[in-house]
A and B are shown apart, each in its own frame.
Chain A
Amino acid sequence: MTEILKVTGLCTHFFTRAGVVKAVDGVDISLNRGEVLGLVGESGSGKSITGFSIMNLIDAPGRMTGGRISFKGRDLSQLSETAWQDLRGNRIAMIFQDPMMTLNPVLRIDVQMIEAIQAHEKVSRTTARERARDTLGMVGIPAPDERLKAYPHQLSGGMRQRVAIAIAFLNKPDLIIADEPTTALDVTIQSQIIHEAQKLTRQTGTAMIWISHDLAVVAGIADQISVMYAGRIVEHGPTDYVIDNPRHPYTYGLLGSVPSANKRGARLFQIDGMAPNMLALPRGCAFGPRCDRAVDVCAAAPGMSQSCTQKFRCHNPVPEAVKVAK
C-alpha cells in the first residue's frame, strides 16, 4: 500500500474582525491508494475547510497557518499557482455538494468534460469526447451519447451528480475529495451514488476523502472514519470499530441519535447544547460543556489516546465494553 496523502497538524485559521476562527486546528490524515476516508462532523466542525485546504482553495480572510500536506511524497506548501493548476482536476479532483450549482448552466456537458481533459492533456477533441463518453458510462449513465449533448438543466439532480463524479474521475486522479456529495440527493439516489463511487475507487485505485455529516452514509463507503469536532479530529479508526464501539462520547452520541427500526417509539439519544461558537471555544476539551461524561480533568485539553484499534481525544472515554444500541 503506497501512501497517497499525508496531512500532519493542518491548521487553517480565519482572521475575521471579530477574532481568529480556528476552523481547522491540528488535523492529521493519512490515506493509502484506493482507500476511502470518511470525514464526519456537524456543520462548522471544519471538515469542508480541511478539504479545501488540501486543494489550496482557502479564500481570504482564511489562511493555512500550520501543518504539512504531502501528496505522493511531495510537499504541497511550496507549490506555485501554475503547479496547483496542473494538480487540480488532474491528480486531485473534487466533487461538490450541490449538483445543481457545480455544472456551468450555459455549457453543454460534453464541452465541460472535454475542457476538463484538454486542460491537462494534449489530446484531440474526438479522443477527449470518447473518453468523456466512456466515463459517463462508467458512472452508470444510460445513453451517454445523448447525455453528452445535453445542458445541465435537462438532467435530474442524481444524473448531474453522476456527471460531476464522472468529471472528477476523467483524468484518473490519485485523490478525490468529495464534499457532502449526496446531501442534496434523495435517499435512493444517494445509495446509488455511493455504490457507484465505491465501485470506481476499487476499479481505479483512487483514494477518496468522503466528507459528510451523515454517519450512516460514511459507514457504507469508508474504510476509515475520522470524526471532527470544533476543528479537531476527536476520534479516528477503521469504520467497523468506530461504528460498533465508539470511544469518544461525541461519536457515541452521534451514533445513538441515529434512528433505526429497533428504536421505534423509544426516545432517541440527544447531545445537549449547541455546536460551540468557533470564536470562543470552551477551555480544555471543546466538547466538555456538552458532554455527559465530563470530569474535572476535562478542563485541560485532552491529547490523542491510542487503543489497539482506534485513536480518540478524550480523558474519560466510553468503555470498550459499551456498544451503541442499534
Chain B
Amino acid sequence: MTDTQIIAPVPAKAETPFAQFRAEFFESKIAVGALITLGIVVVLALLAPWITPQNPYDLAQVDVMDARLPPGEEAFSGYTMWLGSDGSGRDLFSAILYGLRISLAVGVASGVIALFIGTFVGLFAAYVGGRVETLIMRFVDLQLSFPASLVALMLVALLGKGVDKIILALVVSQWAYYARTVRATALVERHKEYVEAAICLGLSKARIMFRHILPNCLGPLIVVGTVQVASAISLEATLSFLGVGLPQTQPSLGVLIANGFEYMLSGRYWISVFPGLALLLTVVSINLVGDHLRDVLNPRMKK
C-alpha cells in the first residue's frame, strides 16, 4: 500500500437528526391530525381580537339583553351567536377564544419556566453528585409524592388570585418532574464514552454538562415538556373551576366552565359544554402529540 486512498460513500443529502426525526414523526396520521388541530387552536387563540365578533371583556359591547341565548340565535346587536351566550350576555365563541388565550399562555409560560428551573436543578444534581445530589433528589421525591393539584391548591390559597400567582403555583408544582427526568437521563449520558472522550480533551466540567450532556437529554425533556404543558393547562382549569384560580376579569376556560355550571340543570348546557370541549380538544391534541413524540424519541420503542 503506497498511499491510503479510501472511497467513502458521500451521504446522498445531509440528513440532520432533526430531518430524520421529522420524517418519523409524520408517519403517524393521528399525531399529524393532533398537531394540525393544535395548530388551529393556537392560531385561533392568537388571532382572537381580530376574528371574534365581540370583545367579551369590553362592557360596552356586552348586552345583558343577549344573556343565555342558545347556540345559533341572533344577538341584539345583529350578529349570530353560533355557540350561544353566557349568563351576562357574552358571546361564547368570543369568550372561548379569549379564554383559550389565557389558558394557553398560562400553561406554556408555567411549562417553560418549570422546564428551565427543573432542567437546571436536575443537571446540577447530576453534575455535583454525592450528598448534594441525594438531598436535591429526595426533596424532588418528597414533592412528587403529593398530587400536583394539591400542591398548586395550597399555594394558590396562600398567594391569592392572579395570573402571576397561578403561574408561580404551577411552576412550583411541576418543576420536579423535569428535574427528575433530566437527572436520570444525564446520569446515563454521563457514563457514555463520548463524555470520557470529552474529559480527555480537557474540556471544563460545565462545558461538558451543558454542551455535551444537555443536548443528549433533550429527547426525554421535550416529551415531558409537552405532557406537562397539557397538564398545566388542565390544572389551571381545575383551579379556576374551583374558584381559586384566575379572577372573573381574566376568564380562562376553567372560569367559563365554572360560570356555566349553575345553568347546567336548567338545560342551558352550552355555557359549560362548549368551553369544556375547547379545553378537551386542546389538552387531548397536546397529549397525542406528546405521546407520539415519545414513541419517536425513545429508541426502545423503535420498530
A: which residues have CB within 8 A of B?
Answer: 55, 57, 84-90, 93-94, 96, 98, 101-107, 115-116, 119-120, 140-143, 146, 149-151, 153-156, 158-159, 164, 167, 191-192, 195-196
A155–B6 Cα gap in the complex (Å)? 13
Minimum C-beta distance from B180 to chain A (A): 22
Across the interface, which residues of A come within 8 angstroms of B202, CB to CB? 84-90, 119-120
Encode B202-218 as 1/0 by CB contact (under 8 A) with A: 11100100011001101
Task: Decide yes or no whether B262 CB sits under 8 A from chain A.
Answer: no
B249 located at the interface, meaning its Cβ lies under 8 Å from any Cβ of chain A in the complex: no
> In the complex the two chains form, what is the Cα distance from A120 to B17 in whole Å?
29
Residues of A near B11 (CB, < 8 A) are 150, 154
Residue contact A154 to B15, C-beta cutoff 8 Å:
yes
Tell me if A158 and B6 are in contact (CB < 8 A).
yes
CB of B135 within 8 A of chain A? no
Q: Which residues of B contact A154 (CB under 8 A)?
A: 11, 14-15
With A88-B199, A101-B192 known as contacts, the answer to whether A115 contacts B211 (CB < 8 A) is yes
Q: Measured between C-beta atoms, what is the minimum distance from B243 to chain A in Å?
A: 46
- Please count how many residues in chain B sit with their CB below 8 Å of the partner chain's CB atoms: 31
Query: Is A191 in contact with B196, judged by CB distance below 8 angstroms?
Result: no
Of B194, B207, B218, the contact of A102 (CB 8 Å cutoff)? B194
By a beta-carbon cutoff of 8 Å, the part of chain B in contact with chain A is 1, 4-11, 14-17, 192-194, 196-204, 207, 211-212, 215-216, 218
When distances are taken between beta carbons in the complex, the residues of chain B under 8 Å from A89 are 200-203
* A104, B14: Cβ atoms closer than 8 Å: no
* A101 and B6 within 8 A (CB): no
A191-B6 Cα distance, complex, nearest whole Å: 12
Smallest Cβ distance from B20 to chain A, in angstroms?
9
- In the complex formed, the residue of A with least CB distance to B191 is A59
A21 to chain B, nearest CB (A): 20
Chain A residues whose C-beta falls within 8 Å of the C-beta of B211 in the assembled complex: 107, 115
Question: Which chain B positions have C-beta within 8 A of A55?
Answer: 200
Q: Nearest Cβ distance between residue A43 and chain B, in whole angstroms?
A: 17
Residue among A116, A142, A151 making CB contact with B8, cutoff 8 Å:
A142
In the complex, the answer to whether B197 meets A102 with C-beta atoms within 8 Å is: yes
8 residue pairs of the A-B complex, CB under 8 angstroms, read A55-B200, A57-B200, A86-B202, A89-B201, A93-B201, A115-B203, A119-B202, A142-B8
B216 touches which of A88, A106, A156, A192 (Cβ 8 Å): A106
Q: With a CB–CB cut-off of 8 A, which chain B residues contact A104?
A: 194, 198, 212, 215-216
A90 and B200 CA atoms in complex are apart in Å by: 9
Query: A119 contacts B204, CB within 8 Å?
Result: yes
B201: chain A residues at CB < 8 Å are 88-89, 93, 115-116, 119, 167
Given contacts A106-B218, A140-B5, A195-B4, 19 further A-B contacts (CB under 8 A): A57-B200, A89-B201, A89-B203, A94-B197, A94-B200, A98-B193, A101-B193, A104-B216, A105-B17, A105-B216, A106-B215, A115-B211, A119-B202, A119-B203, A151-B16, A151-B17, A154-B15, A159-B8, A195-B1
Residues of B within 8 A of A119 (CB): 201-204, 207
For the complex of A and B, the 8 pairs showing the least CB-CB separation, nearest first, are A89-B201, A89-B202, A101-B193, A88-B202, A94-B200, A102-B197, A106-B215, A104-B194
**Closest CB of chain A to B300's CB: distance in Å?**
16
Q: A107-B215, A156-B9 are in contact. Are A96 and B196 (CB under 8 A)?
A: yes
A103 adjacent to B197 (CB under 8 Å): yes
Query: For residue A88, which residues in chain B have a CB less than 8 angstroms away from its CB?
Result: 199-202
**Which B residues touch A153, using CB under 8 A?**
17
Q: How far is the CA of A314 from the CA of B203 in the complex (A)?
A: 43
Contact pick for A57, options B14, B196, B207, CB 8 Å: B196
Distance of A140 Cα from B9 Cα, bound (Å): 14
Q: Say how far A63's CB is from chain B's closest CB, in angstroms.
A: 17
What chain A residues lie within 8 Å of B8 (beta carbons)?
A: 141-142, 155-156, 159
| Assembly CA distance A116 to B218 (angstroms) | 23
- What residue of chain A has the Cβ atom nearest to residue B9's Cβ? A156
Question: Which residues on B sit within 8 Å (CB–CB) of A87?
Answer: 202
**A183 CB to closest chain B CB, in angstroms?**
13
Task: Judge whether A96 and B203 touch: CB under 8 Å.
Answer: no
Chain A contacts for B200, CB-based, 8 A: 55, 57, 88-89, 93-94
Closest chain B CB from A276 CB (angstroms): 27
Chain A residue contacts of B215, Cβ below 8 A: 104, 106-107
Return A122 CB to nearest CB of chain B, in Å: 14
Q: Which residues of the other chain, A, contact B207 by a CB distance below 8 angstroms?
A: 115, 119
Are B216 and A143 in contact, CB atoms less than 8 angstroms apart?
no
Chain A residues near B192: list those with CB within 8 A.
Answer: 101
Say yes or no: A149-B14 contact (C-beta < 8 A), given A156-B8, A192-B6.
yes
Which A-chain residue is minimally distant from B192 (CB atoms)?
A: A101
Identity of the chain A residue whose Cβ is nearest the Cβ of B20 in the assembled complex: A153
The CA-CA distance from A142 to B7 in the complex, in Å, is 8
Chain A residue nearest to B203 in the complex (CB): A119
Cβ contact within 8 Å between A191 and B1: yes
Closest CB-CB distance, A194 to chain B, in whole Å? 10
Q: How far is the CA of A84 from the CA of B204 in the complex (A)?
A: 11
**Contact status of A101 and B4, CB under 8 A, knowing A89-B202, A154-B14:** no
CB-nearest residue of chain B to A87: B202
Complex: A153 Cα to B199 Cα, angstroms = 21
Contacts of A191 in B (CB 8 A): 1
Taking the nearest CB of chain B, how far is it from the CB of A77, in angstroms?
A: 18
A192 to B218, CA, bound (A): 37
Which residues of chain B are near A158, meaning CB under 8 Å? 6
Q: Please determine whether A85 and B204 come into contact, CB atoms closer than 8 angstroms.
A: yes
CB distance from A69 to the nearest CB of B (A): 16
